Amino acid sequence: MKDTILELRGIKKYFPIQKGLLKRTVGYIKAVDHVDLFVKRNQIVGIVGESGCGKSTLARCILRLYEIDDGKIFFNGKDVTTLTKKELKSYRQKVQIVFQDPYSSLNPKLTIKSSLMDGVKQANVEKPKRIEKISELLELVGLPKDSMHKYPHQFSGGQRQRICIARALSLNPELIVCDEPVSALDVSVQAQIINLLMELKEKIGLSLIFITHDLNLVGYFCDYVYVMYMGKIVECAPTLDIFKNPHHPYTRLLLDSIPGKRKQRPDSVFINKQDSQLNTQCGFAPRCKYFSKKCENNLDLREIEKGHWVRCSLI
Amino acid sequence: MENPILTVQDLTVQIKNQQDITILNNINFDLQKGETLCIVGESGCGKSFTALSIMGLLPKKAKAYGKIMFKGKNLLQLSNEELRDIRGKEISMVFQDPLTSLNPLFSIYEQLSEIFIAHGFKNKKELKTRCLKILEDVKIPDPKTKLFSYPHELSGGQRQRILIGMAVALEPDIIIADEPTTALDVTIQYEILSLFNRLKRKKGLSALYITHDLSVVSEVGDRVIIMYAGTILEQGPKESILNNPYHPYTKGLLNSIPSLEKRGSYLTPIPGFVPSAENRPKGCPFHPRCLKKQAICTKKVPDKTFVSDNHFVYCHLVK
């Protein structure tokens, strides 16, 4: 497909569990387990799930900040899985990341100008035009020009997140991976940042991967949603489909848990049995109310409507 | 109102530095028996300071003026020893961060039993059954083994449950919860909120619930106070505040919440950010960020205006 900007095929990232003096590997934590994911141009793709489900690991895998154990990443149709360090530079120019915590992701000893300068240099902007470019960037994210001479501690959380976004934009990326960019911010400031991201999407045709645990946000502005649980995608569909017609019990649990708009009590039964006693590959089984004999069947993502995929044996 | 269990009158908190910084400015409210009062505002509005002054846990540099009346006593004038008797037994608190509120070096049992011992409980055999009862109360799975585990062996949700369990262990009259679910996932948040509501009903507690999230308010609160820059801007019953807000700040907070219904249009956030305590503006504290600002707003602090029997607002625009 021509309009697919990023394509992940069977991405795997296992972390070894090491024990003892000799650091023998006794098992693996399957942080990301066979994830397929597509991002179309100028689309906002949401990844939701509880903490510990592998969302952030996936984000780091996409940027190849972690070496993946298996699978392929295609960017604009080109395989980027095997790029060398040098070649990676140009890939990372086009794919940027904004982290969750704006307090720890800016160097406190650098002025905003020097924080942004690195990116501007990488983007091959000629020397005399660099300062101009930086003020343009700051303007784009809604900060006054003279803030380039200040240090991070002089800004509030929301402003720092704007700076992080400006830094990501300094390389003229085509795709930005946002790893919970607003969860550390107050609601009013969060709304400012969300508006900014929407504006950028429309103005410069950016594509976004938006990682979050806030379903209100996903419903508000993502085009396509992936629901992740224990390293696997359990359901994916266009946003409206997933909100109106959720199939996987986990998705339903998440949707029912949104405060304020609860239609029914979420059926969050926590303990069925211990993991080992359940004869199933489904990671959600210990918490699932609908667990039955059928769950022993093979588990694959299946398409149940056009564009709506579910990993559950009961459906 | 008839019979408040806690009354806060003209509470002002200042921090002594080279120049005095006013953190809280003339806070007035009361807490009825059995109700949940929510305090809502952005970070830096003084929500947590309100809670800390009630608990007598203000930092040394801070000085509180006014009155906090609880059972005929002014909490601000009590000595440390007297306060220690009240804390935990009559008023208790749950903090925001379950990861740092438990001591990593002591087992859950040691930390739970400490509350009972501190309040003069001596029978060792019964101590254990009491502690087990707490864990059962807050629905920790497998309480017998969990009792002797250490905080790092528990998940964030479980730790928060234990903290809530600790807070209600001695059946206090008031429980103060300072953003207890902010650090947690939505699913866990739901469980903690329903646990909180259940325990409150069962034990007939009054609660002060501090949050920045108005969607949480709809789950727990009876009445709501909207706070901004150390002052109260609006106060009223939950339904009335959520469905029929008067203050531009309350409206702004509600408009900032994204949702499926608002898809396709831009959100209308509150511009700017909360001023720091040193440079709070004159007049209405909210005027620099207010979209409907008028000349009078910059000069005069607005008066209290009642819009219904128990809903009032501080704003020049509301007549």
ipTM score of the complex? Answer: 0.81
**pLDDT score, position B120:** 83
Which stretches of chain B sit within 8 Å of chain A by CB? Answer: 42-43, 141, 156, 185-191, 193, 212-216, 218-219, 252-253, 255-260, 262-263, 266-271, 273-274
- Which chain B residues are within 8 Å of A189, Cβ to Cβ? 42, 269, 273
Q: At what angle do helices A187-204 and A157-169 cross, to 10 degrees?
A: 20
Q: At what angle do helices B156-168 and B186-203 cross, to 10 degrees?
A: 10
pLDDT at position A272 over 70: no
**CATH code (residue B84):** 3.40.50.300
Radius of gyration (Cα) for chain B, nearest Å?
21
Q: What angle do CA B282, B283, B287 make, to 5 degrees?
A: 95
Question: For residues A148 and A116, is the Cβ–Cβ distance under 8 A?
Answer: yes
**Six-digit token pair at A65?**
């900040």
pLDDT at position A293 over 70: yes
- Which chain B residues are within 8 Å of A220, Cβ to Cβ? 258-260, 262-263, 267
Convert B115-146 to b/e letters by CB count within 10 Å (16 or more is b). bbeeeeeeeeeebeebbbebbebbebeebeeb
**pLDDT score, position A263:** 57
pLDDT at position A296 over 90: no
| Helix H or strand E segment including A193 | helix A187-204
Report the half-sphere exposure of B32 (CA within 13 A, side-chain side): 11
φ and ψ at B198, to 5 degrees? -65, -50
What is the extent of the structural domain holding A290? 248-315
**pLDDT score, position A261:** 63
**Structural domain count, chain B:** 1
**pLDDT score, position A271:** 52
Place of tokens 């992080």: A164
**pLDDT score, position B149:** 92
Nearest to B216 among A256, A259, A268 (CB): A259
Give yes or no: residues A80 and A17 share one domain.
Answer: yes
| DSSP code, position B105 | T
User: Could you tell me if residue B124 is inside a domain?
Assistant: no
Express each pLDDT in A214-270 by its tens digit.
Answer: 888 899 989 999 999 989 999 999 999 999 999 998 998 888 888 776 556 666 555
Give yes or no: residues A237 and A288 share one domain.
Answer: no
**pLDDT score, position B258:** 87
Nearest to A220 among B186, B219, B259 (CB): B259
**For chain B, give me the number of helices (H) and strands (E)?**
10, 12
Nearest to A257 among B187, B267, B268 (CB): B187
| Helix H or strand E segment including A160 | helix A157-169
Q: Cα–Cα distance between B136 and B294 in angstroms, integer?
A: 56
**Six-digit token pair at B238?**
């939950």
Last residue of a domain, one of A218, A244, A270: A244
Give yes or no: residues A133 and A112 share one domain.
Answer: yes
Give yes or no: residues A239 and A252 share one domain.
Answer: no
Give yes or no: residues A212 and A156 share one domain.
Answer: yes
**pLDDT score, position B278:** 81
Nearest to A259 among B212, B219, B260 (CB): B219
Express each pLDDT in A90-132 by its tens digit.
Answer: 898 899 999 888 888 899 999 999 999 989 998 888 999 999 9
**Six-digit token pair at A190?**
């969060």
| DSSP code, position A68 | -
User: Could you tell me if residue B118 is inside a domain?
Assistant: no
Radius of gyration (Cα) for chain A, nearest Å?
21
- Which chain A residues are within 8 Å of B267, Cβ to Cβ? 191, 194-195, 220
- pLDDT average, residue stretch A75-94: 88
Last residue of a domain, one of A204, A219, A244: A244
**Six-digit token pair at A244?**
């109106």
- Which chain B residues are within 8 Å of A215, Cβ to Cβ? 186
Q: Cα–Cα distance between A95 and A117 in angstroms, integer?
A: 18
Residue A122 neighbours by CB under 8 Å, 6+ apart? A89, A93, A170, A171
Convert A19-48 to b/e letters by CB count within 10 Å (16 or more is b). eeeeeeeeeeebbbbbbebbbbbbbbbbbb
Q: Which of A51, A220, A255 should be substituted to probe chain B, the one whose Cβ sees the most B Cβ atoms within 10 Å?
A: A220
Question: For residues B63 and B92, is the Cβ–Cβ distance under 8 A?
Answer: no
Give yes or no: residues A179 and A297 share one domain.
Answer: no
CB contact under 8 A, B267 and A194: yes
Give yes or no: residues A153 and A259 share one domain.
Answer: no
Question: For residues A228 and A307, is the Cβ–Cβ distance under 8 A?
Answer: no
**CATH code (residue A186):** 3.40.50.300
Give yes or no: residues A183 and A312 share one domain.
Answer: no
**Structural domain count, chain A:** 2
Give yes or no: residues A238 and A257 share one domain.
Answer: no
Query: What residue type is assigned to position A264 of the chain?
Result: Q
Q: Cα–Cα distance between B297 and B274 in angstroms, integer?
A: 17
Give yes or no: residues A257 and A235 share one domain.
Answer: no
Mean pLDDT of chain A: 87
- Which chain B residues are within 8 Å of A266, Cβ to Cβ? 187, 190
pLDDT at position A14 over 60: yes
DSSP E strand boundaries for chain A: 4-19, 24-40, 44-48, 70-75, 78-79, 95-98, 175-179, 207-212, 224-229, 232-238, 302-305, 308-310
Q: Which of B99, B243, B256, B261 should be substituted to probe chain A, the one whose Cβ sees the most A Cβ atoms within 10 Å?
A: B256
Residue B252 neighbours by CB under 8 Å, 6+ apart? A188, B268, B269, B270, B289
Residues of chain B predicted below pLDDT 50: none
Give yes or no: residues A253 and A192 share one domain.
Answer: no
Last residue of a domain, one of A187, A211, A244: A244
**pLDDT score, position A277:** 61
Which chain B residue lies closest to A187 (C-alpha atoms)?
B256
**pLDDT score, position B305:** 92
Q: Where are the alpha helices (DSSP H) in chain B?
A: 47-55, 80-86, 108-118, 124-137, 143-146, 156-168, 186-203, 214-220, 238-243, 248-256
- Which chain A residues are within 8 Å of B257, Cβ to Cβ? 187, 191, 216
What is the extent of the structural domain holding B279? 31-61+79-95+175-314
